[in-house]
Each structure stands twice: as structure tokens, then as C-alpha cells.
Chain A
Amino acid sequence: MRQVAVVGVGQTRCRLRREDVSFPGLVREAVTAALDDAGIRLADVDAVVFGSSPEYFEGVNHPEKWASGAFGGYLKPHMRIHTGGTVGASTGIAAFYHVASGMYDLVLAVAGDKLSEGSVQAGLSTVYDPILGRPFACGAPSAVALQCRIYMERSGCTSLHGARVAVKNRLHALNNPYAQLRLPDITVEQVLSSPVIASPLRLLDCCPASDGACAMVLACGDRARRLCPRPAWVRGASAVAEGVHYARREWDRPLALHEAARRAYAQAGVSDPRRQVDVAEVYDAFSYQEMIWYEGLGLAEEGRGWRLIEDGVTTLGGELPVNPSGGVLSTNTIGATAMMRQAEAALQVMGRAQARQVDGARLAVAHGWGGAIQFHTVMVLSSEAP
């Protein structure tokens, strides 16, 4: 397999509603930023991979048709990826495959959503099984609430731990100019007294909805070295699915996450993630989930994810900072979200994360989840080439 690195990333400003841009314009903004960051022009790009989540969000079926002129797909090899919430990460991984395979040297990955165009939770509810699931569909929070309940009852995690994740990531967000939510005065008490959405989830345990996009430029080894003094080398990447209806689905121990992590770590030569990983960006759409993902990613022992929160391990300045960007709890476009995890992880190992930089970060992990918590992606990025 060829060496592949991220050599440029671009993120848009994310807001609850961006009325200054259309959906294609939003995607274009991220593309322009990533090309500028990589120091290349669109003409240099060999192929484009575009990702966005369910069509019901923008109400435009087949959004790659609408936006291809804006994201640079004109007369270039081009494909669209769609894997629910993981789509941004799957798009980055597909771009990685494009380069790793030897087919293309310089590939643009771009993903985004403009969630304010429709009703996110109503759109998400159309994802549920139309025959057996629709009456119970209540967007994402109600389903994730069940997952969090299972986790709490198994592990001893309490609402205080959830609240501490919610506070940690919102305070991290203050260091990230691209983060949407700005809650400098947020406290654990505030989280615990915010309105219940679906117990145990309270309003401040939940992510916001955002209009935003993200893009990355991936290059083969030679091009990466020429373009970038310190590229973010993709050392491992895996996107794994499990089904919805079958026995032994364990939402608090997702098999697909374990398998994705196992594969990505094996590729990257990571044998002890808790010791080797310097920083992680995980898909914390809801506060409790972050601790479940710690365990799935091997950053904590099973049932002990909440310990990392209790001990302050994952706070910026701690031993293993998680979501120094502010995470999904501070910005969630859905379409771009999982790519933002990869882009932020890339910035960390490039040493370019500015105020949110983890000192000496050399190995970073980016995670995404989607569907009925059945899709998981893991990417391992390093400052060192394989």
C-alpha cells in the first residue's frame, strides 16, 4: 500500500443557520479553504470524493448533482459517499483508498450539510424502519438515550460524568475558532438543571445543529513531502458496519467500533492505544457517548470510561486529551462532522492546532459513528510516515 497523508484541511464557519450561502456555496467555502491550506489549485486535483448525509436534511435528492460544479467535480473522476453520521469520515477514508490504491496522487475529500434548511430530527426520523420503527422515531436523542441508559446501568457512570463531558468539550471549544457553541460560563450544575430531552439526556448533553462543511486534501508520499513540511500521515483507517435487527447488539459495547478500532490499530501498529495515542477526536454527539467511545477505542478499560473524566485525563492539558476542538457537542453539521474529527486530528499531528494544540502530539485517532449506532469509522494519523 502506498503512503498517504493529509496535506491540507479546510473548515467553514459553522452556525445554526448560514443564510449568506447556499448549500453549494457552503461546500465551495470548505474546498477553497482546503486547497489554499494545501497550497494547490483545483486543477491540480486528480479526483474528488463528496459526502453528505440523508437527502431529507436539505430536501434535495442527489445533492452531488446540485453541488458538483461548486466542489470541483467537473470533468474529474468523482463519487459521492453516504453512510449517515459517519459520512464525513467515510468520505475521508474513501479519498484515502483512492490514493493508497495507486489510482490517484492528489485527491480532494469534501463533506457538508446545511441542517437549517429542513427539520433535522424529522429528517432523521425517516431513517427508521418504515414498518416497525416509524412510530417510535423521535430523531437521534431518544435512541441514544437508550444507549446511554444501558451504559450507565452497566458501568456505574452517572449523570455527573455526562455533565462533566458536556462542560469539558464546551470549554475546549473556546480555543477553536471554527466551533459553533460559545458557552464560556457553562457549569456542571447548569448541565444538570437544563431541560430533559429524553432522559438521561438533558439539553446541554446534546450537540447543536449546524450549517457547515469540511474538506481535506490527501496526497501520495512524494507529493505530500513536496507540498507540506509536516504532513499528517494516515497510518490506519477502517469503516465497519453492523446490522440493526439481530440479537446481541450491544449499544454500550458496539461490535462495529471494536472491529474498526482493531483493524485501524493493526494497520498502524498500535498495540496499546491508551499509552500510544496522544490525542483523540471522537463523535460525541451526546455527552455520555464520549465515555462509551473511550472504551470502544481501547483508551479505557471496559466499563471504566467515566474514570478518564473523573481523573481529568481527557481534558486539554491532561494525559490524553479528547476533543480539544470542542467536539461534536460544540458543532454538528452531521455531513461534515466525522471529517472534522479527521481534520482536527490531522491538525494536531501537523502541530498546527493553535490554541487547541496538544503539546507534542504525534499520534491521533479520529472516530465517527452513524446509522442506528451501527456504522463506525476509525482513522489513525501520525506525524511519522509509515
Chain B
Amino acid sequence: MGGEPVGPAVLEGEIHLAYRWTTGPATGAFLTALRDRGVILGLRCPSCRRVLCPPLEVCPRCGTETAGEVECGPGGRVTAWTLVEAPTPWTPWEAPYALISVRLDGASTDLVHAVTEGARRVRTGARVKAVFRTVGRRVGDILDLEGFAVE
């Protein structure tokens, strides 16, 4: 046949769904400490003694339930970084911004977050420091930790 299509070849649509995610005891405590105290919490695995930050209910390596809150940071060291030039529509930062993997002081695992101050100076091994949302504006999500400033 060829030529013009005889009918609609593509139909456009969207899906809108609302959710209420249960944070659970570990992530819940992490977000609460962030919101109410401006503190980054880790949880210790009683088997391997590692401090998981962000905390998990179960240590994946040992299969053991974590116990014992440990305050991590606010300082840490960059373990990996990228300068993002092509963000998604829902990215809260303007490009270019630095996405980092950071090992907070006192933690045994890495947290993924963004650099909000000094993105151009970020390097592996660089010292960074947590920047929190202003008291009174915190809502209990991961962005109560606004990001990290390169020292």
C-alpha cells in the first residue's frame, strides 16, 4: 500500500497513580532523625559489625537483623562521582550537578547523594560535609539532607 496510514498508528496516554510507601523501622528512623535532629543515622550489623548507612533492616551480607543506631557524618569522603549534564524532568537540581557516592565518617557503606556546593571541585577522595534543610522546612524525606558541600 504505502502512502498515508489508514488510521491512527500511535495512541498517546499517561498513567497516574498515588502511593503511600511504608518506610519500615530502619528507613523510618533514618528519616525521622534527619527531620527532627538533623542527624544522619546508620545501623550496625551485630554479625559483621559494619555500620550500614543508609540503614537497612537486615544486613544483606549476613542476613542478620541490624541493631544499634550510630550517628554518621556529617563529614565524609567521596568514593565516586559524576557530573550530570542530562538530568531527568524530575531531578531537583539544575544541571550540571554532581552525583556522588559518599562514605560518611563512622559508616561502612556508601550513600548516594548530590553535591549542592562546589560541584566543579568534586574529586574521588574529596572531603564533603552534609548540608541540611533549614529547621522548620524539613518534611521527613531524603532531601531533608539537601546535599553535600565540597570542603
Is A126 touching B57 in the complex (CB atoms < 8 A)?
no
Minimum C-beta distance from B9 to chain A (A):
11
Complex Cα spacing A22 to B29, Å: 12
- State which of B13, B27, B60, B61 has its C-beta within 8 Å of the C-beta of A22: B27
Complex Cα spacing A160 to B56, Å: 50
Complex Cα spacing A68 to B60, Å: 8
Q: How many residues of B are counted as interface, with CB atoms below 8 angstroms from the partner's CB atoms?
A: 22
B24 contacts partner chain A, Cβ-Cβ < 8 Å: yes
Is B22 touching A18 in the complex (CB atoms < 8 A)?
yes
Once A25-B57, A131-B11 are accepted as A-B contacts, the answer to whether A72 and B22 lie under 8 Å apart by CB is no
Complex Cα spacing A22 to B17, Å: 19
Complex Cα spacing A22 to B20, Å: 11
Complex Cα spacing A74 to B63, Å: 8
Query: From residue 28 to 85 of chain A, which have CB atoms closer than 8 A to chain B?
Result: 28, 42-43, 56, 58-60, 68-70, 72, 74
Is A72 touching B11 in the complex (CB atoms < 8 A)?
no
Minimum C-beta distance from B87 to chain A (A):
19
Which chain A residue shows the least CB distance to B19? A59
Q: Chain A contacts of B1 at CB under 8 A? A: none
Query: From residue 106 to 149 of chain B, which have CB atoms closer than 8 A to chain A?
Result: none
Minimum C-beta distance from B46 to chain A (A):
15
Complex Cα spacing A123 to B19, Å: 10
Q: Chain A contacts of B63 at CB under 8 A? A: 42-43, 72, 74
Complex Cα spacing A69 to B109, Å: 14
Is B24 touching A21 in the complex (CB atoms < 8 A)?
yes
Is A116 touching B58 in the complex (CB atoms < 8 A)?
no
Complex Cα spacing A28 to B63, Å: 10
Extra pairs beyond A22-B24, A43-B63, A70-B56 (16, CB < 8 Å): A22-B26, A23-B24, A24-B24, A24-B58, A25-B24, A28-B58, A59-B19, A68-B60, A69-B56, A69-B60, A70-B57, A74-B60, A116-B20, A116-B22, A118-B20, A126-B15
A359 contacts partner chain B, Cβ-Cβ < 8 Å: no
Complex Cα spacing A70 to B58, Å: 6
Chain B 6-20 per-residue mask, 1 if CB under 8 angstroms from chain A, else 0 = 000001010101111
A134 contacts partner chain B, Cβ-Cβ < 8 Å: yes
B25 contacts partner chain A, Cβ-Cβ < 8 Å: yes
Is A119 touching B24 in the complex (CB atoms < 8 A)?
no
- State which of A22, A42, A74, A131 has its C-beta within 8 Å of the C-beta of B22: A22
Q: Identify the A interface with B (CB < 8 A).
A: 18-25, 28, 42-43, 56, 58-60, 68-70, 72, 74, 114, 116-119, 122-123, 126, 130-131, 134
Query: From residue 18 to 60 of chain B, which have CB atoms closer than 8 A to chain A?
Result: 18-28, 56-60
Q: Chain A contacts of B24 at CB under 8 A? A: 21-25
Q: Which of A42, A56, A70, A116 has the most CB of B within 10 A?
A: A70
Which chain B residue shows the least CB distance to A132? B11
Minimum C-beta distance from A168 to chain B (A):
33
- A-B pairs, 7 with minimum CB distance: A22-B24, A69-B60, A59-B19, A42-B63, A74-B60, A25-B24, A118-B19
Complex Cα spacing A123 to B58, Å: 29
Q: Chain B contacts of A25 at CB under 8 A? A: 24-25, 57
A–B Cβ pairs within 8 angstroms, 6 of them:
A21-B25, A22-B21, A22-B27, A23-B21, A56-B15, A123-B17
Q: Chain B contacts of A126 at CB under 8 A? A: 15, 17
